[in-house]
Amino acid sequence: MSLEEVLDEIRREVTPDPEERELVEGFARRILSEVRDRLKERDPDAEVELIGSVARDTWLPGASDVDVFCVFPKDRDLDEIVEVTLEVGREAIEALGGEAREEYAHHPYIGGEVEHRGRTFEVDVVPCYDTEPGEVITPVDRTPHHNRYVEEHLEDTVEARLLKAFVKAIDAYGAEVRVKGFSGYLCELLAIHYGSFEEVLREAVRTWRPGFVIDLEGFVGEVYEDYDEVRETFEDQDPALIVLDPVDPERNVAAALSRRQLTRFILAARAFLGDPSPEFFRGRKPEPVSGEKVRDWFERNPTHVVAIEVRLPDEVEDIYWPQLEKTARSLSRVLENEGFEVRRWHVMRDSEEEHGYVLLEFEHGKLPELEWRVGPSGWVREDRVRGFVRAHGRFWVEEDGKLATRAERKFVRPEDLLGRLEGADRQTLLSHGFGKDLARSSEGEVRLLSAEELAELADRDPELGKALAEFMRGDPLSELVRDRL
């Protein structure tokens, strides 16, 4: 198929038909008016705004997220606007037959599920202040400005829809920590900046690399002296891309994007441009692997894999996921300090968000009992030299002047070290680099799993089955791009 044929087909697919449009927009109007009526009673100066992809007309068929913002004058207390919003949000959701619950991001807000003509909508009602773009009081105050910017500048909404569908299909949609991908707003800005989906892909392949700056509003030359100053400003984020927020030049819209997702996007873009196919929009989540396959894999696997089960804290994913990753990274470091070579780590969680899993792959299941331990040079502090010589007695002196010896290893198998975590207390977990909340929730609950236990998990929970499939078989993107590059 030619690129135009594919794009035409997908444009039709990603554009809601009139019926669905009426369903979603109709629901949005209803919840908006339910909130507005109640809000005006409590605070006549406050306004209600529909936010997000439904408001911007960049939503994809099947959409179910509707975000309503209650926008208050700046002189109100934060406590006050939160209280009002929680109340009117709860009442509005319940008035439509939904169930409301209090949520928390930067400050509390109301979420709820509402059934409407056969579709379950996820509604959020969020308080914020009416501010100028440059003087936001809470982080969400920026959101209405984002909304307005996209509404004013996005000429062809279907191009943003194409891009969202593309990143969704390669599992790179969303700024949440588990994904570290492209947020909806980022997709919209890219569509605005490059003019079309196709141009986003072409320019990504041609120009994107870590530290590349995208400046829609010409801040460079105005707010920033030059591109180097932009890069210096965001240096600490070690950003994969820098997309200056049109409503706030000090913010990088792509701050959450990882280098991993940057590579994945560029690869997918290259492959798609090289050999266009609707397949790229079909979703690449791997099939969950069966327990049988897990058993099989472990039996044939020539390397050594250790699986650690932890208990997740009762926190949102954006809190516990980075802690799970940090734990995997810390354990790798601890193990490497003891001479083990960790090839890679992989983290996953079950679908109930009860347990997290760290998989560590090692070059060897067992190290020789003696290690080559390198100590200080002769000219460093006397006590260090004395300590090394007294401890080991026998030594060699290396070319660079360092003492070295063959010494008995503390841990011969990774399990010898990791076994200390089984049932360990909070302090021990913290000292091995567990995240704060994870160390608390996992106290006494850490277990090393056998291949058999992993196999059983794969059979019981398809989410784990999928994660294991990726661990064992590779990035689902591989299959899509390998014959197209």
- The CA distance from 144 to 305, in Å, is 48
Helix axes 78-95 and 18-42, enclosed angle (nearest 10):
130
Contacts with its own copies in 335-354 (CB under 8 A)? 339, 343-344
SS3 state at 213: strand
Q: Does 423 bind its own copies (CB under 8 A)?
A: no
DSSP conformational letter for 424: -
Candidate list 135, 398, 425, 452; residue touching its own copies; CB under 8 A? 398
Least distance in Å: CB of 379 to its own copies? 4
Q: Shortest gap between Cβ of 325 and its own copies (angstroms)?
A: 9
Tell me how far apart the alpha carbons of residues 249 and 397 are, in angstroms, rounded to a whole number: 56
Q: Determine if residue 97 is left, alpha or beta; phi over 0 gives left, psi from -120 to 50 gives alpha, anything else beta.
A: left
56 is in an annotated binding site: yes
- Where does this chain touch its own copies (CB under 8 A) — which range of 79-87, 116-124, 278-286, 397-405? 397-405
Q: Which stretch binds its own copies (CB under 8 A): 90-98, 143-151, 208-216, 229-237?
A: 208-216
Residues 245-274, interacting with its own copies (CB under 8 A): 258-260, 262-267, 270
Residue 326 within binding range of its own copies, rule CB under 8 A: no
| Residues 283-302 within binding reach of its own copies (CB under 8 A) | 302
DSSP state of 156: -
Q: Residues 247, 133: contact at Cβ < 8 Å?
A: yes
Determine if 237 is a binding residue for its own copies (CB under 8 A): no
170, burial (CB in 10 Å: exposed 0-12, middle 13-18, buried 19+) = buried
Q: Is 124 annotated as a binding residue?
A: yes
65 appears as a binding residue in the annotation: yes
CB 220 within 8 A of CB 163: no
Contact window for its own copies (CB under 8 A) among 8-16, 27-35, 364-372, 442-450: 364-372
In whole angstroms, the minimum distance from the beta carbon of 59 to its own copies comes to: 28
Q: How many CB atoms lie within 10 A of CB 333?
A: 13
Q: Does 153 show up as a binding residue in the annotation?
A: no
- Kindly state the smallest distance separating residue 47's Cβ from its own copies, in Å: 42
Pull the structure tokens for residue 312.
């997740």
Between helix 197-207 and helix 259-274 the angle, nearest 10°, is: 120
Beta strands in 312-350 (DSSP E): 342-349
Q: Which of residues 425-444 bind its own copies (CB under 8 A)?
A: none
The interface with its own copies within residues 92-111 (CB under 8 A) comprises: none
With b for 16 or more beta-carbon neighbours within 10 A and e for fewer, the 391-407 pattern comes to ebeebeeeeeebbbbeb
Would strands 119-129 and 65-72 be described as parallel, antiparallel, or unpaired? parallel
Q: How far is the CB of 174 from its own copies (least distance, A)?
A: 17
CB of 295 to its own copies, least distance (A): 18
- Exactly one of 31, 50, 403, 468 binds its own copies (CB under 8 A); that residue is 403
Angle at 60 (CA atoms; ends 57, 66), nearest 5 degrees: 65
We find the least distance from the C-beta atom of residue 122 to its own copies, in angstroms, to be: 30
Among 137, 216, 319, 404, binds its own copies (CB under 8 A): 404
Residue 277 annotated as lining a ligand binding site:
no
Residues belonging to the binding site are 53, 56, 65, 67, 124, 146, 164, 173
Interacting residue ranges for its own copies, rule: CB under 8 A: 205, 208-210, 240, 258-260, 262-267, 270, 302-304, 339, 343-344, 361, 363-364, 367-370, 372, 377-379, 382, 385-386, 389-390, 393-406, 470, 473-475, 477-479, 481-482, 485
